[in-house]
Structures are given as structure tokens and as C-alpha cells.
């Protein structure tokens, strides 16, 4: 369970640290993706997530907005087929300094290698390294909602609800 909590914390921090990914990386192909993450030498965790373009864009917009508030540095450089991200973000009382390298075509597979240092440490952890390998498996399963994630133990994690303003727009209601 600690591995899953650490993985989710790392993924959240990475999302905060990489607000311009939507502009710098290709969008993932819609469908079912297998994500295999190894966090700081722990056993690999394999998750399945249903990716859909509209939800993916919404999540990236939310990450960019949060990063504008939380990050004092966010350098993104394209180096050939790689995108290198270096950022410094404030998460509560902790400063998270991230170096991440993404590569792949995002149509069938991609990889991300990250190193995050925490000052002061989070959950007694001053550094976290994550290797993420992702591959497209095909269309999402029948009845599976975009954004749903299935953990190794079968636990289903629902996607976060969009902000109220976005919910109104999705339902065709006027902005207030």
C-alpha cells in the first residue's frame, strides 16, 4: 500500500512539475494504457488507465493552473526525441525539485524517468526516483469510463471531478 501511495504522490508531483507537457509532448492515444512504474527500488506496480483526449486535456489544464501557483521554476527543453523537464515546486511545506525525461511516440508507447528531491523530506523520503513504462493496449474496456485507473490489486480509482465551471460547460449550461 505504501508503494501505491508513494506512486500516486510522485505522479501528482510530476503533474504539478510539468505544466507545459500539453504543449511539449504529443498527447497519448485514446484507449487503454498499461503503466508500469518502479518507484525508488520498490517492486514495480502495473496499472491500467483509460485515456480519452478531452479528459486528458482537462487534466493538463488543471495541472498547468496549479503549477502556475506552486512552481517557481519550470524549464522544458526538447532534445531530439526527448523532452527534459527541470522544475522547482512548493507542495505544502515541502519544496519538490524535479528532473524528468520523457521519450517515446505516445501513440503506442512512452517512457518517463524522474528524480524528485524533497526539502524537507515527505514521509521520511528526501528523494524519489521513478521509471514509468507505458504501452497502449487497445480500446478501453466496455463500460470503462475515461480516466478510470485500475490498480494491481483490482482497486478502481475514479478520475477527479472537473471543476464546477467546467462541469457546467460540459453539461451545456452557461457560465456565471
Which tens digits make up the pLDDT trace of 112-166?
999 999 999 998 999 999 999 999 999 998 888 898 999 989 899 988 776 565 4
Residue 97: HSE in the Cβ half-sphere, 13 Å Cα cutoff: 7
CB hemisphere CA count around 87 (13 angstroms):
29
Residue with more model confidence, 29 or 60:
29
- Name the pLDDT band for 30 (thresholds 50, 70, 90): very high
Strand duo 125-138 + 149-150: pairing:
unpaired
DSSP state of 97: E
**Residue 114 CB-density burial (10 A; 0-12 exposed, 13-18 middle, 19+ buried):** buried
40, pLDDT greater than 60? yes
Neighbours of 136 (CB within 10 A): 19
Give the residue-averaged pLDDT of 80-108.
91
Report d(CA 86, CA 76) in Å as an integer.
Answer: 7
- pLDDT(86) > 50: yes
Q: What is the dihedral of CA 163, 12, 61, 81, to 10 degrees?
A: -160
Predicted confidence at residue 164, as pLDDT, reads 60
Give mean pLDDT, residues 77-85: 86
pLDDT digits (tens, 9 = 90+) for 49-63: 999 878 777 777 777
Amino acid at each position: 500500500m505504501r508503494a501505491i501511495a508513494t506512486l500516486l504522490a510522485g505522479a501528482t508531483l510530476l503533474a504539478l512539475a510539468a505544466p507545459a507537457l500539453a504543449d511539449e509532448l504529443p498527447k497519448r492515444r485514446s484507449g487503454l494504457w498499461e503503466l508500469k512504474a518502479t518507484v525508488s527500488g520498490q517492486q514495480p506496480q502495473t496499472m491500467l488507465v483509460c485515456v480519452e483526449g478531452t479528459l486528458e486535456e482537462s487534466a493538463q489544464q488543471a495541472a498547468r493552473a496549479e503549477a502556475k501557483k506552486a512552481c517557481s521554476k519550470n524549464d522544458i527543453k526538447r532534445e531530439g526525441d526527448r523532452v527534459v523537464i527541470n522544475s522547482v515546486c512548493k507542495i505544502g511545506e515541502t519544496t519538490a525539485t524535479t528532473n524528468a525525461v520523457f521519450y517515446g511516440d505516445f501513440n503506442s508507447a512512452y517512457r518517463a524517468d524522474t528524480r524528485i528531491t524533497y526539502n524537507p523530506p515527505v514521509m521520511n523520503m528526501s528523494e524519489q526516483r521513478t521509471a514509468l513504462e507505458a504501452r497502449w493496449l487497445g480500446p478501453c474496456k466496455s463500460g470503462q469510463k475515461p480516466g478510470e485507473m485500475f490498480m494491481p490489486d483490482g482497486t478502481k480509482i475514479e478520475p477527479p471531478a472537473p471543476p464546477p465551471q467546467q462541469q457546467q460547460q460540459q453539461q451545456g449550461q452557461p457560465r456565471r
